[in-house]
Amino acid sequence: MIPAARPEQPATGVPLRATGMPLHDPAARQRWASLVLGAVLLWPLLAATEFSPWKIFEPRSLHASARFLAGFFPPATEAGFLGNVALGAWQTIAIATSGTVLALFLAVPLALCATANLSISSLGGRMAPLPFAVRQGLRGAMVALRTVPELVWALLLVRVVGLGPTAGVLAIGLTYGGMLGKVYAEILESVDSHAARTLLANGSGRLQAFAHGLLPEAAPELTSYTVYRWECAIRSSVVLGFVGAGGLGQEMDNAVKMLAGGEVMTMLIVFVALVAGADGLSAWLRRVMQ
Amino acid sequence: MPGPTEAAAPAAGLSLDLRAIGLARSVRGGRREILQSVDLIVAPGEQVAIVGASGAGKTSLLQIAAGALQADSGALRLGGESFWQLPPSGRQRVRRALFLAPQVPPLPPRQRVVTAVLAARLPSLGFWRGLSSLLFPLDLGAVQAALEPFGMAGRIFDRVDRLSGGERQRVGLARALVAPARIWLLDEPLAALDPVHGEQVLGLLCAEARRRGVTLIVSLHQAELAQRHFSRLVGLRAGRLAFDQGPDSIREAQWTALYDVPPHHGAAASTGAA
Amino acid sequence: MIAARWPLLLTGIALAIVVAASFWTLDLHLGALLAPASLAAMGRYAAEFLAPDLSPAFLARLAGAALETLAMSVLGTVIAAVLAAALCLPAARFAGRPPARWRVPARLLFNVLRAIPELVWASLLLVAAGLGPMSGTLALALHTAGVFGRLFAEAFENAPQGPAQALRVQGNRESLVLLYATLPQLGPQLLSYVLYRWENNIRAAAILGVVGAGGLGQMLAFHLGLFQNGRAATVIGAMVLLVYGVDLASYAIRRTMVRMH
């Protein structure tokens, strides 16, 4: 946005030297310093990441990559394999769906307890200290669930429940439970709470106040966010497959380890199509629910 | 003779040859003719003023002349070469000899005046010199010498958004003095200037152009200024050529006709460019 | 009234079917998990994590891995920004050049880069770039370039075009047009995109190592594999701290930028 032109001001800035010699740029010193600082910071970055792109072009690794890449075309289309891929794709959808449902079991109670709009003690003004502490504690719990990456949860769970979809479902359930819970609580607090608080003031239970007072207004946003998260869960469950949590991801991991380029290519195509489909479905669902 | 602002002595000015230029745009309810069979032939080093009311098509004509807009019909030749029939690399080559100053000075608000002016010199710098000049401006002397005649030398390190409208316009015009251009196309260069400063700036631009031998084409709606500073005036009325002659031979009736435009054109003009 | 709700009803039924099918086909045995014996086992497993290893030697190695992860996130994000900006250039609009020729392929490229998660990229790049943080950096760079590509392309097209067109009239190459005309107008906005993405990328960088791409992730996988759960717990703690630190830094930089302008 170009700001409105100001009225004519007297000339400011550096006066000309009598000889008319070129002036010195006042910003030059600062820019040199920034440039040097940038270079000084860049060096350890490159060193720490062992950044040596020329290694990719060394004959042996170039040969290996070329062979791997060449294997991508044509993508594998053998019937038995495609059957496995379809199964893997369905498993991915199933993991995402079950994980999200589990997350709901965690998120809904947490959100209901944590949201300030269902607080009875705050009806008369400020919330009492104990309920406040409890709510903050629940918020903290949800943040804790979110902060540990779901891949880490999956890694741990795989060692407890074994390889396979269960670990993925639980990992998604835990992390998404935290995410959904936090956002649900926030949505519930952002809606107009007048109806709910009136109900509470008149002695109705919290669940009723929620169902009749908050839910009608918040429902569109709540469902919209949930559907969006389900779509993210599909992507997550593929990633989790790489640590053994089943689905398309696990198949892809196996294929890459065997350098089976054609199979990897097919699975990538299926994965991209799956994500695009989920994206389209989620957009449609959100429109229908409005 | 090359002055302190010029990167190198430019060859003689570029010639411009526009024939049967037509331009139309779809608007609600049909097509609006912005330009219709306009011819304009300008010799190297010649100075021409394009006059007309707003909405007459002056800006579009200049943009077509600069290769910034492709006309729907007609031909454009710059320096004798048929512009749109050149390969993309040829077009880029010819473009480096052009300079177009749009009505609104093309200066990024947060940029400093020195960088904004130096940007006009980029066609003659390679990528690496251009990149380094962004951080550490080359040739401050040339920038200063370009801003000096416009009275803006003291603001060389100020940010563009600290300048007034008139100051920005002057900086925009000072860019011409550092550009390696052989033809200057200036669209309403005095729009934000008061009459006194405007006349000064116009005189300055004409003198500089003559000294360097660059072709100069200026669009103006101030008829008296055009008559005083240019020996050839091209009148545009509702997208058509009204006259193309010396100022003394233009009759009063022609001037009145120029600014007396039919209603629908005037109305449409308020929604589009001149 | 029912008629108006048909789509909703049908959707609800379809959803219920999908949910039921999901649980059923996965054969999850969730009930078995809640059996006392397995709960006890889980409890014991969890308890091992409550004894984190805090010895100086280990912490020193942890710091090294954390720096490696941080470096991966920074370098990957920066490379992505430059790559995305460069890939946006051919699609710029100007007289006589059909923008559609490059727009569609560029958009396709960005979508493909974005669609494939960082971890998948990392496992593919291990073949070309070997084990270690370089694969992780490149994986982040490729995926993030796809994200930036879409954002940048939109930002470039929506920026005021006056200064850019003036430079294009003079026959300048697109890279210089970007540097002199577009970036000065969009700088702060693009920087805030980059900083937001850095917050995401530090999380990604932390776990990429699990497939062998270096950093804290590789340490975590290593110690979990050796059943050294105390050390694994420390690594997880370091991940959380690192993510928190980057979130703070990104927020602070964005705040300073807002105050400066």
Q: Each residue of C164-178: pLDDT tens digit?
A: 999 999 999 999 999
Phi, psi of B79 (to 5 degrees): 60, 30
Q: In which residue are the tokens 């904004």 written?
A: B116
B259 has a pLDDT exceeding 90: no
- Number of domains, chain B: 1
pLDDT of C57-84, one tens digit each?
Answer: 999 999 999 999 999 999 999 999 999 9
- Tell me whether residue B90 is in a domain: no
Q: How many whole angstroms from its chain centre is CA B5?
A: 19
Angle value at C-alpha A197, between A195 and A199, nearest 5 degrees: 70
Q: Which chain B residues are closer than 8 Å to A16 by Cβ?
A: 144, 153-154
Query: Could you tell me if residue B260 is inside a domain?
Result: no
| Dist. CA B150–CA B174, nearest whole Å | 7
Fold designation for A79-288 = MetI-like fold (1.10.3720)
User: What are the angstrom distances between the C-alpha of C142 and each of B142, B202, C121?
Assistant: 43, 53, 8
Looking at the predicted structure, is the pLDDT value of residue C31 above 80?
no
What is the C-alpha to C-alpha distance for residues C78 and C71, in angstroms, rounded to an integer? 11
Cβ–Cβ below 8 Å for A28 and B168: no
Cβ of residue B48 closer than 8 Å to a chain C Cβ: no
pLDDT of residue A9: 38
Mean predicted confidence (pLDDT) in C25-52: 81
The Cα of C114 is separated from the nearest Cα of chain B by a number of Å equal to 30
- Can you give the residue range of the structural domain that contains B146? 107-175
Evaluate whether residue B134 is within a structural domain: yes
Q: In the structure encoding, which two tokens stand for residue B45, read together?
A: 């080093």
Per-residue pLDDT for B33 more than 70? yes
* ipTM confidence score: 0.88
| C177-217 confidence digits (pLDDT tens) | 999 999 999 988 999 999 999 999 999 999 999 998 889 99
Query: Which one of A5, A24, A32 has the shortest CB-CB distance to B164?
Result: A5
pLDDT tens figures, A36-86: 999 999 999 999 989 988 888 888 888 888 888 888 888 888 888 999 999
Average pLDDT, chain C: 88
Q: Can you give the pLDDT at residue B261? A: 62
Please determine, looking at this structure, whether the domain spanning C55-260 carries the CATH number 1.10.3720.10.
yes
CA B263 – CA B261 distance, rounded (Å): 6
Is A151 close to C133, i.e. CB distance below 8 A? no
Residue type, B16: L
The percentage of residues in chain A with a pLDDT greater than 90, rounded to a whole number, is 33
Predicted confidence (pLDDT) per residue in C123-140, tens digit? 999 988 888 999 999 999
Report whether pLDDT(C261) > 70. no
Candidates C45, C72, C124: best to mutate against A (most CBs of A within 10 A) is C124
Q: Would the pLDDT of B167 be above 70?
A: yes
Chain B residues inside the 8 Å CB shell of A28: 136
Which residue of chain C comes nearest to B184, CA vs CA? C170
Q: Which of C10, C13, C28 is best to mutate for the A interface (most A CBs within 10 A)?
A: C28
Q: Tell if the CB–CB gap between C169 and B95 is shorter than 8 Å.
A: yes
Instruction: Say what the pTM is.
Output: 0.86
8 Å CB contact between B181 and B97 = yes
Predicted pLDDT at C220? 92
Q: Smallest CA–CA separation between C24 and chain B, in Å? A: 59
- CA dist C11 and A289 (Å) reads 9
Mean pLDDT over C215-221 rounds to 92
Domain membership of residue B214 (yes or no) is no
- For chain C, the structural domain boundaries read 55-260
Least confident range of B93-107, B111-125, C221-235: C221-235
pLDDT at A151 over 50: yes
Contact A16 B154 (CB under 8 A): yes
Average of pLDDT values for C119-125? 93
To 10 degrees, the CA torsion angle through B68, B72, B75, B77? 0
**Cα dihedral C4→C9→C14→C18 (10° resolution):** 140
